[in-house]
Chains A and B, each alone.
Chain A
């Protein structure tokens, strides 16, 4: 696949995500399949009723990490286009917080790439959610990104 990455979409947004637009964007006549992941706000968290969620991000790094996921997808799978969009701010029950669409000539690559994208996003993209309940709010237990162990990669500021 030699699609320029410019055709991919990586966004952080503060308004509802336009799912059909993203699906249309990744779709092309050379493709035969699109797999999407729609992550939305559940009304329960650890058996407590959730009122709403509030997402925040380290935006510059989050976007860089989302683009990195896109590059990894193109390197690992025979896919065509990728769209990864995460919403920030207050989200109500049922609203989409993250949407991923991957197109490919054949379905297997699209399924695998989409799964890899959401799993990697949840481990490595610096976004946090606070869960609001009737009786208070807590930061969701998250996942610790893989920490670099040694310094060799540290470079002086240029």
Chain B
């Protein structure tokens, strides 16, 4: 299934882009989707504990199942205001 993945803030700097469309074969949860990225970019792993995830613009827990067409974002601590 295909999902859209978004990166923001310092995470975007690490990954090198803010958005990707990904054909996911071996990930069924948000946690596993993140793990796919840390395999390719091990330096991402250290951010895991300071991130929250969202699914379709709603905060979502890491064990949330993925569905085709989902928009998943990995969000560093927010600093608006």
Contact = CB atoms under 8 A, between A and B. Distances in A.
Given A122-B78, A142-B76, A151-B64, A128 B9 contact: yes
User: On chain B, which size bracket covers the interface?
Assistant: 20 to 34
Contacts of B79: 122, 127-129, 139-143
B65 A151 contact: yes
Given A147-B52, A157-B69, A142 B77 contact: yes
Interface string A116-129: 00100111111111
Contact of A128 (B56, B61, B69, B80): B80
Interface stretch (A2-10, A52-60, A71-79, A104-112): A52-60
For the side of the interface on A, what is the size category? 35 or more
Interface in A27-58: 39, 55-58
Interface of A: 39, 55-58, 60-62, 64, 86, 97-98, 118, 121-130, 139-151, 154, 156-157
Interface of B: 6, 8-10, 13, 50, 52, 54-61, 63-65, 67-70, 73, 75-81
